[in-house]
Chains A and B, each alone.
Chain A
Amino acid sequence: MVNFLHDRATLYLFGGVLAILVVATIAGQLIKLRVRNAVVDNLNARIRAWWIMSAVFAFSLATGGIGSVILFAILSFFALREFITLTPTRPADHSALFWVFFIITPLQYYLVAVKWYGFFAVLIPVYAFLFIPSRIAIAGDPNAFLERSAKIQWGLMVCVYCVSHAPALLMLEIPKYEGKNARLLFFLVVIVQLSDVLQYVWGKLLGRHKIAPVISPSKTWEGFVGGVLTATAIGGALWWATPFNLWQATLMAFIIAMMGFAGGLTMSAIKRDRGVKDWGAAIEGHGGVLDRIDSICFAAPIFFHLTRYFFTP
């Protein structure tokens, strides 16, 4: 906590988020004075929820590493719950699901907390991958066996394995960047979420040509290009808070924004397949937890591995 308050760069970063929230809130209220409809109400609900999400995220970073690990573990748990709820499973999957929720998920985050990279990287893709179908087979129901195993494995990979790479940024040992990894996590989350928001804003302002209207009616080429480019530029402008130089930070932000877009689109495809609009109703105006972190699911592991490969010895 003390370190955090004396860390000028981190304070600037949070000051920036605060400024954006204040501007967004004022803009939202000004729009509300002139136009009143469902889109504007949803916009203001989203902004209100952003205040809360930013506060929770800031608090988790301020507690040092452990707060962020716990926060992302809780997000994983709720996201997985939303995923499995919309995925048809059979009574025979019950024990496998119990393991997934109460043993594998906490273990994955425990490995993040104790910085055991070797096990963290293989627990779910190797051990859980083999364990889940075996456990389901023991339960003895062959109906749609492969489909059921695959859905549970997929949910675990996306909601737990991928998301856990965000707090895992804190375990990287980057030379001359010791004790500052919280900023990397901040960089990832802010670029992903800004890219989402900016794609939405550009799309609402200029959007004409839809990318995949059946999958996601609100994603347009104009929104995509505008959002990714703006988020990339902001990422580059934040290079001083990262272990990267200007062009490296720009490239990283670009990759994060592209992966975030891919995540949003892929998770939308699953929602459309299941015939729903949102994963849940946990966050006012946004839908479920998974609706808010779908882009982090895809961006976090790639950002983690690029940083690990190029910037750690």
Chain B
Amino acid sequence: MRRVVASGVVGLARLLAGGQVRRIGFTPDERQRIYFANHTSHLDFVVIWSALPKRLRALTRPVAARDYWAKGLKRYLALKVFNAVLVDRVRSDPATPNPLDVLLDGLGDRHSLIIFPEGTRGDGTQLGAFKSGLYRLGKARPDVELVPVYIDNLNRVLPKGEFAPVPMLASVSFGAPMRIEDGEEKADFLERARDAILELRQW
């Protein structure tokens, strides 16, 4: 059942946003990775997930906001189909676990993650500043490769505030994996990571 739903979701993602998948210096394989991408739409991780080869989808867990994904059908899709890691965007109760621990837990020893370091959805034209989560994840797990991903045109499929998607050709570009260099400062690394996504824009 899950498999059927998963292929249904992939098919739907292709119908609505089917377009090109580009791999620039990136080869998909089972290595643990953290894919970090620009965030323009609720469909972002669905499209990145669909752009990966089938065998990697089962190993790749999107990180999604609990307040949006924890209800009804979305909850079923998030937890059962995508095996998402749900995090609280606002940590109101100190009893909820530290988001970084939740992500490290989600990564485990064989999974990969899809994260959006801008934290919130942009309008598709600008790339916002990165939050520090990517850096802290990279520091905590230096063995995991960080892969920049640029999603183009998807904000037009489902713009912020809209409910129904419209078909459009989007493209997903995977860039060369990177790591935090020895002694690299947080701000320098986040700038470098952001540039890596901007670099993919020209493809």
Interface residues of A (CB under 8 A from B): 77, 81-82, 84-85, 89, 91, 94-95, 97-98, 101-102, 280-281
Are the CB atoms of B167 and A101 closer together than 8 Å?
A: yes
The answer to whether B168 and A81 touch across the interface, beta carbons within 8 angstroms, is yes
Task: Name the A residues within 8 Å of B156 (CB-CB).
Answer: 85, 89, 94
Min Cβ gap B3→A in Å is: 26
Interface centre among A85, A95, A98, A101, by most chain B C-beta atoms within 10 angstroms, is A85
A281 to B19, CA, bound (A): 8
A101-B166 in contact given A91-B159, A94-B159, A281-B20 (Cβ < 8 Å): yes
Contact assessment for A94 and B162 in the assembled complex, using a CB-CB cutoff below 8 Å: yes
Sample (29) of A-B pairs whose CB atoms are under 8 Å apart: A77-B167, A81-B167, A81-B168, A81-B169, A82-B169, A84-B167, A84-B168, A85-B19, A85-B153, A85-B156, A85-B169, A89-B156, A91-B123, A91-B159, A91-B160, A91-B162, A94-B156, A94-B159, A94-B162, A94-B166, A95-B162, A97-B166, A98-B164, A98-B166, A101-B166, A101-B167, A280-B19, A280-B169, A281-B20
Tell me which residues across on chain B come within 8 A of A280, comparing CB atoms: 19, 169
Main secondary structure of the interface of B (DSSP, over half): loop
| Chain A residues, CB < 8 A from B169 | 81-82, 85, 280
B168 touches A85 (CB 8 A): yes
Chain B CB within 10 Å — which of A84, A91, A95, A102 has the most?
Answer: A91
Task: Report the bound CA distance from A101 to B162 in whole Å.
Answer: 16
Q: A91-B160, A101-B167 are in contact. List 4 more A-B contacts (CB 8 A).
A: A77-B167, A82-B169, A84-B167, A91-B161
**Residues of B close to A101: CB separation below 8 A:** 166-167
| CB-CB nearest in chain B for A82 | B169
Q: Which residues of B contact A89 (CB under 8 A)?
A: 156
Q: Give A82 to B19 CA distance when docked, in angstroms.
A: 10
Q: Count residues of chain B with CB under 8 A from any CB of chain A.
A: 14
Q: Given the complex of chains A and B, what is the CA–CA distance between A93 and B156 in angstroms? A: 10
A102 surroundings in chain B (CB, below 8 A): 164
Give the docked Cα–Cα distance between A281 and B153 (Å): 16
In the bound complex, what is the Cα–Cα distance between A280 and B168 (angstroms)? 11
Q: Which 7 A-B pairs have the closest CB atoms?
A: A85-B169, A91-B159, A97-B166, A81-B167, A94-B162, A98-B164, A85-B168
A201 to B97, CA, bound (A): 68
C-alpha spacing A250/B169, complex, angstroms = 40
CB distance from B189 to the nearest CB of A (A): 33
Within 8 A of A (CB), among B149-195: 153, 156, 159-162, 164, 166-169
Which of B160, B167, B168 has the largest count of A CB atoms less than 10 A from its CB? Answer: B167
- Report the Cα distance A81→B165, complex, angstroms: 12
Provide the residues of chain B in CB contact with A94, threshold 8 Å. Answer: 156, 159, 162, 166
For the complex, give the distance between the alpha carbons of A63 and B19 in Å: 30
What is the distance, in angstroms, from A283's C-beta to the closest C-beta of chain B? 13
Q: Determine the distance from Cα of A7 to Cα of B162 in the docked complex, in whole angstroms.
A: 51
A222 to B2, CA, bound (A): 58
Contact flags B2-32 to A (C-beta < 8 A → 1, else 0): 0000000000000000011000000000000
* Bound complex: CA A165 to CA B160 (Å): 37
Question: How far is it, in angstroms, between the C-alpha of A295 and the C-alpha of B24 when the chains are bound?
Answer: 35
Complex CA–CA separation, A85 to B161 (angstroms): 20
Chain B min CB distance to A31 (Å): 29
B161 cross-chain contacts in A, Cβ below 8 A = 91
B contact residues around A95 at 8 Å (CB): 162
- Complex Cα spacing A82 to B166, Å: 12
B179 CB → nearest A CB, Å: 33
A82 to B123, CA, bound (A): 21
The residues of B that contact A97 with a CB separation of less than 8 Å are 166
Contacts of B160 in A (CB 8 A): 91
Chain A positions within 8 Å of B153 at CB level: 85
* CA A28 to CA B159, docked complex, whole Å: 46
CB distance from A97 to the nearest CB of B (A): 4
| CB nearest neighbor in A for B167 | A81
Beta-carbon nearest neighbor of B166 in chain A? A97
Q: B residues within 8 A CB of A85?
A: 19, 153, 156, 168-169
B186 → A minimal CB distance (Å)? 34
In the complex, which residues of chain A have a beta carbon less than 8 angstroms from the beta carbon of B123?
91
